[in-house]
Chain A
């Protein structure tokens, strides 16, 4: 099993969710985050005070999937979240050792 974590542009969230649902992904976790990468921030000016805002708002999604589904999931996220502009985000994949569905006690692949 793997955890696929993607940092995407906030307005792309619904498209990514639809793409993942059509692959049979049953759930994902969403967090509003801020950060920076290659995309530059912007400047805000309040009368004489100028502030460089370098942390931009992004959405982080986390999906737990079976190992053989990882490439499909990555493809779906890339397909849905890409605009071609700088700041589209990144995908990170890590191993997942164990999973439990709290309601039933099912474990690992059955719990996803």
Chain B
């Protein structure tokens, strides 16, 4: 008893220390935990505090560096600033209406305003499962709402005005992310009630971001000189660094989506390792056979495709099922980023659609197959593969259509008001100088 008590206290103290150094209210948490029985499980809370920070690590610096390395040197700071500012804006939006519109009861399409500006959320309120403080649940979900519009930015990078990207993220959060997240993750949401499975955000985050990116790339238009000028990534070293940070942070994203420190989180962690390794090798080998060389960019792209493909399935399928999802996700994403993209000729700068959209669809539909207990999955009540796969397809179609149509309206609207594209000269000079007045590399 004494040992258990002191061990837990020490664990909590170290968790609180971690939070304090990153600027969260560490002391307040320690006091609350010491006094309050409202928090049912300190272990769950500690893991969810950690997971929240891991998802933040995915955005800054992970995603920013991953995309930053893929653009030309003259647009490096533009990429970094867009990701950073869009993530920050999305966090404040989450306080204003986001959390409330997603995670309160309302209609099957959207929640209500009862928790706008964090109304009713306090130090002693807990999440619906009663295991973690509501502040932690709020913050964890906030990082998801922040990374999703930032993911889309990569598709129309190097040619979209900074102000336009901010306005995009604001409108897109309200009219696309909040409804889809509500439909999938809130108990009265349309897709939740339908029985569609999305463990950590295959539809909500990745299909959503992939489709928004594709629509943006089409409406913003191609970069000047696309298909003619050399547009090689300016630093695959940074892309590798960002990709590696994404993989690490993704354990918060996937294993954190268990919302507890338990066996489900453990399964999600194993899948997030194995499916990713499988997809990296899958992309690498397919590219090796097709193009004659195994590339770093291909292998690290496979890592991301694998992470995306396992996201909806992470806590639901067995490790072998996860490996199959990774193998398929890597190969199919490669096909879309090379063959399909070249046939249609759209300019998706960082292949947001080819990686996130496509692997997200593979993972979302594959979840319906590999959740089956006969294939090593955890199973769902009254499971029938055909029905489950159909529900997954419905969820994918709803996400694609909702996101596609509303994103198109948002991009068109921005184009007709403040404008999407910089002047031709400004785009040629690079957005670092023309949007931000600074240069990434002064050598």
CB of A51, distance to nearest CB on chain B (Å):
5
A45-65, CB under 8 A of B: which get 1 and which 0? 111110101000000000000
- A68 interface residue per 8 A CB criterion: no
- Report the minimal beta-carbon distance from B73 to chain A, rounded to whole angstroms: 15
A47-B338 in contact (CB<8A): yes
The residue that A51 contacts in the complex, of B232, B297, B339, with Cβ under 8 A, is B232
* Contact A46:B297 (CB < 8 A) given known A51-B230, A51-B232: yes
Contact assessment for B230 and A47 in the assembled complex, using a CB-CB cutoff below 8 Å:
no
Expressed in whole angstroms, the Cα–Cα distance for A51 and B72 within the complex equals 14
For the complex formed, measure the closest distance between the CB of B296 and the CB atoms of chain A, giving whole angstroms: 10
Contacts of A44 in B (CB 8 A): 232
How many pairs, one residue from A and one from B, have CB atoms within 8 Å of each other in the complex?
A: 28
A-side contacts of B297, CB under 8 Å: 46-47
Chain B residues near A49 (CB, 8 Å)?
Answer: 231-232
Return chain A residues, CB-CB under 8 Å to B338: 47-48
List residues of chain A with CB within 8 A of the CB of B230: 51, 53
Q: What is the CA–CA distance of A48 and B283 in the complex, to the nearest angstrom? A: 13
Q: Which of B282-299 contact A (CB under 8 A)?
A: 291, 293, 295, 297-298
Cβ of B312 to closest chain A Cβ, rounded Å: 24
Instruction: Return the CB mask of A12-50 against B: 1 if under 8 Å, else 0.
Output: 000000000000000000000000000000001111110
Closest to B226 in A: A49
Rounded to whole angstroms, the CA-CA distance of A45 and B232 in the bound complex is 9
Q: Which 10 A-B pairs have the closest CB atoms?
A: A48-B338, A47-B337, A48-B341, A48-B342, A51-B230, A48-B337, A45-B291, A46-B232, A46-B297, A46-B233
CB distance from B63 to the nearest CB of A (A): 17
CB <8 Å contact, A48 and B298: no
Beyond A44-B232, A46-B297, 20 extra complex contacts between A and B, CB < 8 Å: A45-B291, A46-B232, A47-B297, A47-B298, A47-B301, A47-B337, A47-B338, A47-B351, A47-B354, A48-B337, A48-B338, A48-B339, A48-B341, A48-B342, A48-B354, A49-B231, A49-B232, A51-B230, A51-B231, A53-B230
Question: What are 13 of the A-B contact pairs (CB < 8 Å)?
Answer: A45-B293, A45-B295, A47-B297, A47-B337, A47-B354, A48-B337, A48-B338, A48-B339, A48-B351, A49-B231, A49-B232, A51-B231, A51-B232
Main DSSP-derived SS at the B contact region: helix
> How many residues belonging to A are interface residues under a CB distance threshold of 8 Å?
8
How does the 8 Å CB contact mask read for B332-348 relative to A, with 1 for contact and 0 for none? Answer: 00000111011000000
Q: Which residue of B lies closest to A44 (CB)?
A: B232
Instruction: Give A1 to B334 CA distance when docked, in angstroms.
Output: 60
State in angstroms the CA–CA spacing of A47 and B342 once bound together. Answer: 11
Q: How many residues of B contact A (CB 8 A)?
A: 17
Question: CB-defined interface of B364-376 with A at 8 Å, one 1/0 digit per residue?
Answer: 0000000000000
**A45 CB, nearest partner CB in chain B, Å:** 5
Query: B41-65 CB contact bits vs A (8 Å, 1 = yes)?
Result: 0000000000000000000000000
Query: Which A residues are CB-close (under 8 A) to B298?
Result: 47
Measured CA separation A92–B376 after assembly (Å): 72
Interface residues of A in 57-101 (CB under 8 A from B): none
Which residues from A are CB-within-8-Å of B337? 47-48
Bitwise, B310-349 to A at CB < 8 A (1) or not (0) is: 0000000000000000000000000001110110000000
Task: Name which residue of chain A comes closest to B342, CB basis.
Answer: A48
Taken residue by residue from 193 to 237, chain B's Cβ proximity to chain A (1 for < 8 Å, 0 otherwise) reads as: 000000000000000000000000000000000000011110000
Cα-based distance from A53 to B291 in the complex (angstroms): 16
Closest Cβ neighbor of B297 among chain A residues: A46
Residues in chain A near residue B301, CB distance under 8 A? 47
Q: In whole Å, how far is B109's beta carbon from the nearest beta carbon of chain A?
A: 36
B291 surroundings in chain A (CB, below 8 A): 45
A37 to B230, CA, bound (A): 20
Q: In this complex, which of A45, A47, A49, A51 has the most chain B Cβ atoms within 10 angstroms of its Cβ?
A: A47
Residues of the B chain whose Cβ atoms lie less than 8 Å from the Cβ of A45:
291, 293, 295
- C-alpha spacing A44/B292, complex, angstroms: 11
> How far, in Å, is B307 (CB) from chain A's closest CB?
17
A48 to B286, CA, bound (A): 13
Cβ of A47: which chain B residues have Cβ within 8 Å of it? 297-298, 301, 337-338, 351, 354
CB distance from B356 to the nearest CB of A (A): 14
**Nearest Cβ distance between residue A93 and chain B, in whole angstroms?**
34
B340's closest neighbor in chain A, by CB? Answer: A48
